[in-house]
Structure formats: C-alpha cells, structure tokens
Chains A and B, each alone.
Chain A
Amino acid sequence: MAAFAFGTACFREPDCIVTASTAIKIDFKQTKINPTTFIRATVDSLVFFTTVFVTGIDTAYIRNRQLSSLTLPIDPRTKEVKFVFNIKSSNGAFTRKDSMSFNYASESRVIAPKCGAYTYFLDLKVKSASYDSTKYRLVSNRLLKNTTNVQVFY
C-alpha cells in the first residue's frame, strides 16, 4: 500500500503554481531611528500619488491614492518601461514629479500541460531614475507574483 501511494505520488500531475508576472512591484520605504534604542529600522512609507503614468497607457494608471507599494504593469511587447510619479506631500504644501525607467528580458517556460506556458520577465535593470542612486535599491531582477522588485527610500 505504501509503495502504491509512493508510486502514485511520483507520477501525479504537478501543482499548477504559476509565478509569472507582468508587473514591477515598487515598495516605498523610509528609515527611522528608534529614539530609545537608537536602532535603525526600515518601515513602509505612505506616499500620496496624484497620478502615476505608465509607458503605453494614455491615461493615468493610478490617480489620487495614498500607497506604500505600487504594482505597475509592463508592456510585454517591449523591452523597457517608464513610470512617472506625481506625488503630493502629506500636508499638500508641494508636489513633485519623479520617474524611473527599467529594461528587462523575457523567456518562455512550459509549466505543465494543464497549467500551460508563460512568459517570464527577468534581468530587470534600472535604466534611469530621477532619484539619486542611493535612494533606491533593486531587490529582485525577476518579475514574479508578490515579489518586490525595487525599494525606493523617501
């Protein structure tokens, strides 16, 4: 019975877990120092986006939202994308315009007959940014579901 169970376990279809994503996830962070312990910690930073524009989309992809993380689409037919962030300060006193450009490559993977084949985007690189290079960090160069690609420090 155990041998049968082992055999069927070996030959059954694999679970259909598709991790491919067509979006870049950007987390906004800030560094805070605990006043009592003086330990530095990185925490989420809520940012008010008046608009966020994505290359290839004529209208604003995000409008008037306060978020600490953005999941922004890429055009799968191209090899680069530019995001433009129009940000308002928390007290509404000023606005600023930032941008980041990325390029990437792709590959095709067959997961399993039932799951199908998917385009995976990889080799993500920051092509240009309005931020100083110390203000952002590439965390993962593969576009996968629920995976942060870039951290931006505000």
Chain B
Amino acid sequence: MYRSFISAFVGFVFIGSAAMAQPEGKSPSDTVRNKYLPTGVRIGFDALSLIRSQDNSFKGWEINVDTDFSRYFFTVDYGYWATSQKLGNGRYQNDGNYLRIGADVNFLLKDPDKNMFFIGLRYGLSSFRESVQYQNTPLYSGFGTITGDESNSNISGSWIEVTSGLRVKIVSGFWMGFTGRLKIAPSTNGAGKLVPYDMPGYGIISETPYWGFNYQLFWRIPLPKFIK
C-alpha cells in the first residue's frame, strides 16, 4: 500500500512539474533554490464538519494545515469523526481519528493574492472503533430472533485520495475554499466478526470510489523574511 502510494505520488509530482515547467536557463541557481522555501503556513478548519455536528447522528471536526514550496503545497489534515446511526433493525456507532498527508499542485502560481486552484494527492490513515446492535429473523422462527451485538475495538485503516479545489482570499490573511475528494483503495486491519462499515475520514468502506467534500476557512501566518 505504502509503495503504491509513493509510486503514485512521485508520478504525480513528476507530471505536475513537467506541465508547469518554466525555462530554467535564465534563472540563477540561487533563485531556483530560494523559490522552494516556504513563505507561510495556512491553518484552517472544515466548516461542514462543524455544521454536520449539529445533527445528533454525527460529531466531528477537522483541522487543515498547508505550507507552500513554490507551486507545491505540503498538506496535513487531522480530524475526529463519530457517528451514531439508526438502522432499519438496530443501531451502528463508531468514532475515531484520522490523518491525511499529501501534496497539492497550485495552478494559479502567479496570482498576487495567493489564490489557489489545485489538484493533489493524499494518503489517509484512520484509527477507530465501531459497534453494531441489531435483530434478524431467521428462516425458521422457532430458533428465535437473531440478536447481533458485535464490535471492533481497535481498527486501523488507510486509503488514497485524489483532491481538487479552490482557495480564495477574502481579506488580508484570511482564505476560504473547498476541497473535493475522490477516495479510493480503502483497507482495514484488526477487525473481528463485524465487517468494518464506516471508517472515519473515508466513509462507507464497501463503496469505492467514495466522495468527500470540505468547506474550509484558513488563516495564513507569513514566515519571517529571514527564513527566505
């Protein structure tokens, strides 16, 4: 899994670099080196998670951090996700934390407001627990109702995402934007008799690809000039 992610990531960066390549002959070597130093760190959160948390069936939050290396942005997302879903014949609950690490390529490199239209890749990791209680009626009713009460106390999982979105500067130091996520290749470890259903950060594991969407608010902290 890690190997396939790294291969995909290297390929992605290579394609991105080739597509955005500038003539290098005119640039002094020290300028080329300096343009890859970060100019700031953006810290934000997902507003949709907070809005969804008003509903009793979902509680969650997500923090997003990114920093620029010229047109490339290194990004980290960390979040919490808990659901309590009423089923047709019972109830399902889960909760856990997730981490996404990846990179975006900004296609609005020369925008003076540092607005972004980006495409990126993420590798997601999740650690969670889940439980389900339900009742089924067997073929022969004389055996009584099947009462299911299963749980997975410590599952880990991973997936890959292709992301795209926008960041738009609203006022000085404040950006808003969205990220669309196409999530693929979910996998889990550590499950017992309950087949893992809903992985925090990913969603319904049996559905791939699975879509995700964040509406994010960012504050940018410029790095001191001397770092450059």
Binding site for B on A (CB under 8 A): 10-11, 14, 20-23, 54, 56-57, 61, 71, 73-77, 106-110, 113-119
Contact B87 A119 (CB under 8 A): no
Contact A118 B136 (CB under 8 A): yes
Stretch of B19-27, B98-106, B192-200 with 4 or more beta carbons under 8 angstroms from chain A: B192-200
Contact B139 A108 (CB under 8 A): no
CB distance from B130 to the nearest CB of A (A): 9
> Does B222 sit at the interface, judged by CB under 8 A?
no
Interface residues on B, range: 20 to 34
Given contacts A116-B90, A117-B87, contact A75 B143 (CB under 8 A): yes
Contact A110 B132 (CB under 8 A): yes
Chain B residues within 8 Å of A56, by CB:
142-143
| Most chain A beta-carbon neighbours within 10 Å: one of B86, B90, B138 | B138
Within 8 A of A (CB), among B76-103: 85-90, 92
> Does B36 sit at the interface, judged by CB under 8 A?
no
CB distance from B138 to the nearest CB of A (A): 4
Q: Which of B89, B132, B211 contacts A10 (CB 8 A)?
A: B211
Considering the complex, give the chain B residue whose CB is closest to the CB of A145: B139
Contact A117 B148 (CB under 8 A): yes
Chain B residues within 8 Å of A108, by CB:
132, 134, 148, 150, 193-195
Contact A73 B138 (CB under 8 A): yes
Q: Which of B136, B143, B150, B207 contacts A20 (CB 8 A)?
A: B136
| Most chain B beta-carbon neighbours within 10 Å: one of A10, A75, A116, A119 | A116
Given contacts A106-B193, A108-B134, contact A116 B139 (CB under 8 A): no
A63 to B146, CA, bound (A): 26
Contact B143 A119 (CB under 8 A): no
Contact A76 B134 (CB under 8 A): no
Q: Which of A23, A113, A119 contacts B136 (CB 8 A)?
A: A119
